[in-house]
Amino acid sequence: MSAPTSFDEFLDGLWRQNPIFVMVLGMCPTLAVTVSAVNAISMGLATTFVLGTSCLLVSLLRHSIPKQVRIASYIVIIATFVTVVDYAIQAISLDLYEALGAYIKLIVANCILLGRAEAHAAKNPPLPATLNAIGMGLGFTLGLLAIGCVREMLGAGKLFGISLFGAHFQPWVVMVLPPGGFFVLAFWLILFAAFRHINGRRNAQLGEVQS
């Protein structure tokens, strides 16, 4: 195994350690804001921005932050960028701001952020740290989008606000209610688990053949 390249760092979060489907982190926004694909993407990108910028700053300051106050420093840094995103979204669209509600501010409490800052950015130079963080963020966005698309299609018959099935579509109300978030998340988790299971079996067979 060679040393991880920057691209590997990026792919890590996007796929191998996908925060939603593999690590099952950040479930609060995952369940709450994924009623539509647009909400999901916005939430994902907002989180990606906070992840990327805060990990960059943490990585830059990693040698000067003493161990005792590192968590406090990380939280201050993360909170700063969450505030930035908060203002930015208000400036872009108030409707979106209303739809995402308290969950923008709650990005602070998203364990993916503190997890990345502590586990990766604090130990790595800025470039890999940022790449890894952005990969994580995009992985998160991908997960939210996967859930958001299903919920919007079944719950409203639309995708990105465009009607798919015509006027007589019967919306599945449960999909836009909180239980729908759990059902769709569970569905994707099963799918991912099955995929990894099959993949693992195939790799094991390949190993046997080669040896």
Of 88-117, binders to other proteins (CB under 8 A) are: 88, 90-95, 98
The string over 146-155, giving b where at least 16 C-beta atoms fall within 10 Å of a residue's C-beta and e elsewhere, is bbbbbbbbbb
Window contacting other proteins (CB under 8 A); options: 21-29, 36-44, 117-125, 173-181: 173-181
Specify the stretch interacting with other proteins by CB under 8 A; choose among 9-17, 20-28, 39-47, 161-169.
Answer: 161-169
Range 65-80 burial, b when 16+ CB lie within 10 A, else e: beeeebeebbbebbbe
Is residue 159 within a helix (H) or strand (E), and if so which, with residue range?
Answer: strand 158-159
Closest CB 136 distance from other proteins, rounded Å: 22
Q: Is 41 exposed, middle or buried (0-12, 13-18, 19+ CB in 10 A)?
A: middle
For other proteins, how many residues bind (rule: CB under 8 A)?
A: 38
Binding segment for other proteins (CB under 8 A), chosen from 20-28, 56-64, 125-133, 134-142, is 56-64
Eight-state DSSP code of residue 20: T
Which residues of the shown chain bind other proteins in the complex (CB under 8 A)? 57, 61, 64-66, 68-69, 72-73, 76-77, 79-81, 83-84, 87-88, 90-95, 98, 165, 168-177, 179, 183
